[in-house]
Structure 1
Amino acid sequence: MRHQLRRTPAPRPIGSPNVQAAAVIRLPHSLQRYLETQASSLLYPHASSADDFLLPAGEPALVAPDSVSWRVFKNPVALFIGGITAVLLELAHPAVRSGVWEHTSFRSNPRQRIQRTGYAAMMTVYGPRSRTEAMIAAVRQRHGQIGGVTPSGMPYRADDPALLSWVHATAAFGFMEAFHAYVGMLDAAQREAFFAEGKMSSRLYGADDAPISEQQCLTLFETTLPCLEPSSIVLDFLNIVAHSPLLPAPLDHAQGLLLKASIAILPAAIRERLCLPVHWNLHPWQAAVVRRLGRIAERIPLASSPATLACQRLGLPHDYLYAPRGLNSLL
């Protein structure tokens, strides 16, 4: 199986002078402050959560600052799209679907659930190693208490290594493809590096057989495809997210487009398997709007973001992740 994506045109090298000059968008102070406030309310479960990325000073993360992961995860548009794609892939699997739908707050409080999941993803990439390992250990403890039976009678446990590997693979695929399709193209070496960079965290989470290369991910999708199935829960999830106030203005008007963008990057065979209605199709002009949003977001540093705070913790320049360091140009 080969997934079909709407590819962005081949961009200019990021090192070209005209790209460097236009790399960062400087916003008026009031607008910047508004975005900072809204981003913090969405990213951090508690007011003190930002400190988790600042302390202990100098402590490295699981992944190095010059990694592809640090570049990919800083973009909020790619994170939202990729996170939804990952959840759709999770919900396609009957055992994972039952665990997610019966034991999380997606139905009652989708914003809180997305916030907590996003915070965990950010900690895994940017958090100091000691705090990240403690967070993952707490997640594993909770997983050990979750289990049940699917409507078809299949028993499941949230700490099943095979299910954890599926979840890890869907997350890696979703975030990587969202960035590639709507922000900046990743070449083959960068895509391989992105998967390899997740090896340490996947082992900590208990996903011992999670893919550490793109080919391994595609192989897992192929072998798992017969187990995947459509479900009304997938449509319920999309409708809940579509009608929940998740994004700040003016991005709230684009929330529906971002959902369609999430569906557009699903592997073709899995999307077909889910039997999603055609009104969720992303039209070419809509894809262009989403790419524009993704590329604008890439050029607006947020001082309160986990990526920037992690740079501060390590003594790096606040705009370290916005300097030209090898990813393709975004314009």
Structure 2
Amino acid sequence: MLRTLLRPATAPIRRWVMTAFPKPPTGGIDYEHPAGDPGLFGPNSVTWRIHNDFCGMLAGGLCALYLQTLHPRALAGVWDHSNFREDLVGRLRRTTAFVGGTTYAPTAEAHAMIARVRSIHANVRGLDEAGQPYSADDPDLLTWVHVSEMASFLAGFRAYGPMDVPAAAADAYLDETRRVAEALGARDVPGSVAALDDYVRDIIPTLAYTERTRVVLEVLADLDLPVPLAGLSRDIFLHAGAALLPPWASDLLRRSAADQMKGRVATATLRGMAPLFRAALTDGVATRSCRRVGVDRGLLSHWPAGVATI
């Protein structure tokens, strides 16, 4: 009954998401087979819950992009080896597909995705803006990219997700997800909030706002989503993502008082919209993966036993 009443509001949202992040026409992952395969995490993981929230993940992913523009070597790989100026949406889609696949896909598919990315990384190398060498398979660089993403996804869920995050759940999330980073070749990956805080404190002195940062931020600000009301959609999610930035990152990115105000407005707007997104997206990869392992998707509405205490 409730779903029928909400359909006039949720149907356009579903079309928006499916247009912006379409399924591959052929050769996509079969999330419903083989039966019983838990993938890398399984339904009792915190990761399955946090990565199931569209608003938190998209805003968090954009926050991670902001953070990654501050690392000269991470940015150099994007600058030299991608067509981000023309296809930033494509880059977002590929990142979304990788995170979704390694989270929910059957085990063999998840490992195959990791192997493909490692193969690509092996050919991404060069000199950064200061003339220092970089390579995409540098373990320390991989750790930074992973940390910037997971910290942002966690912040996104805390801001826009359907339930509060207990401290134990946050620690479990970081501990679970580091297995993907380590499989890609990262090292010394933080596995708790305390370890993440220590890592961030140590890396801040190596981060900087450069001319390349400015250019990428300009491209991001003009992101052209292939959806109705693209400018409004973009601005809400971009500002909601930027609002997740920690204060030190906002300072490095030179965000003005006006930017901060836009972030607060976007945060309130997205929080109001988030329940409609959840009502619209009831048959995504998380739901199909739940069917694969024989559990009801409602299980993901509660924290696993052992991490549920705030």
> TM range, normalised to the smaller chain?
0.7 to 0.9
Match of 1:212 among 185, 191, 201: 191
Of 233, 248, 251, 1:272 maps to 251
| 122-131 vs 242-251, greater mean Cα deviation | 242-251
| 1:140 maps onto 2:118 in alignment | yes
Where does residue 224 of structure 2 map in the other structure?
245
| Structure 2, unpaired ranges of 5+ | none
Offset, 1:139: 0.3
Distance 1:252 1:63, change over 3 A: farther
Q: Is 2:200 aligned against 1:221?
A: yes
- Once the two structures are TM-superposed, the CA of residue 202 in structure 1 deviates from its matched residue by 1.7
Matches within 5 A, 1:141-160: 141-160=119-138
User: Could you list the per-position Cα deviations for residues 229-266 of structure 1 after superposition, in whole angstroms to 9, with x for gaps in the alignment?
Assistant: 01243343333333333264467623212211212221
Contact 1:50–1:306, Cα closer than 8 Å, also in 2: no
Q: Distance in 2 between matches of 1:39 and 1:87?
A: 20
Q: Which residue of 1 aligns with 2:32?
A: 54
Name the amino acid aligned to 2:244: I
SS at match of 1:110: helix
Contact persistence 1:82–1:178 (CA under 8 A): yes
Q: Which runs of 5+ in 1 are unaligned?
A: 1-21
1:292 aligned to which of 259, 263, 272: 272
Secondary structure at the residue paired with 1:148? strand
- Provide the rounded CA distance (Å) in 2 between the counterparts of 1:209 and 1:256: 35
Give the SS at the match of 2:83. Answer: coil
Change (3 A) 1:135 1:324: closer
CA shift at 1:101, angstroms? 2.1
Aligned residues: 305
Distance 1:274 1:31, change over 3 A: closer
For 1:142, what is the secondary structure of its paired residue?
Answer: helix
Q: Tell me, in whole angstroms, the C-alpha distance in 1 between the residues paired with 2:5 and 2:29.
A: 25
Residue 85 to residue 49, structure 1, CA distance change in 2 (3 Å): farther
Aligned-pair identity (%):
27
Amino acid across the alignment from 1:82: G
Among 72, 77, 95, which residue is 2:73 paired with?
A: 95
Distance, in Å, in 2 between the alignment partners of 1:209 and 1:289 is: 37
Equivalent of residue 315 in structure 1, options 276, 294, 298: 294
2:20 to 29, 42, 59: 42
Rate the CA distance shift 1:175–1:75 in 2: closer, same or farther, 3 A. same
Q: TM-score, normalised by structure 2?
A: 0.88
Q: Which of 191, 196, 204 is matched with 2:175 structurally? A: 196
> Which letter maps to 1:77?
C
Residue 27 of structure 1, CA deviation: 5.6
Cα contact 1:211–1:217 (8 A) shared by 2: yes
SS at match of 2:134: strand
Q: Which moved more, 1:316-325 or 1:65-74?
A: 316-325
Alignment of 1:106-117 (within 5 A): 106-117=84-95
What does residue 15 of structure 1 align with?
Answer: none
Residue range with higher mean Cα deviation, 121-130 or 241-250: 241-250
Moved over 6 A (4+): 323-328
Q: Aligned partners of 1:324, 1:26: CA distance in 2, in Å?
A: 28
Whether the aligned pair in 1 keeps the contact of 2:21 and 2:93 (CA below 8 Å) is yes
Q: Deviations over 1:259-284 (max 9, x none)?
A: 11212221211221222344422454
Tell me the distance in 1 between the aligned counterparts of 2:105 and 2:57.
Answer: 16
Question: By percentage of residues, which structure has more helix?
Answer: 2
Q: TM-score if structure 1 supplies the norm length?
A: 0.82
TM-align CA RMSD: 2.7
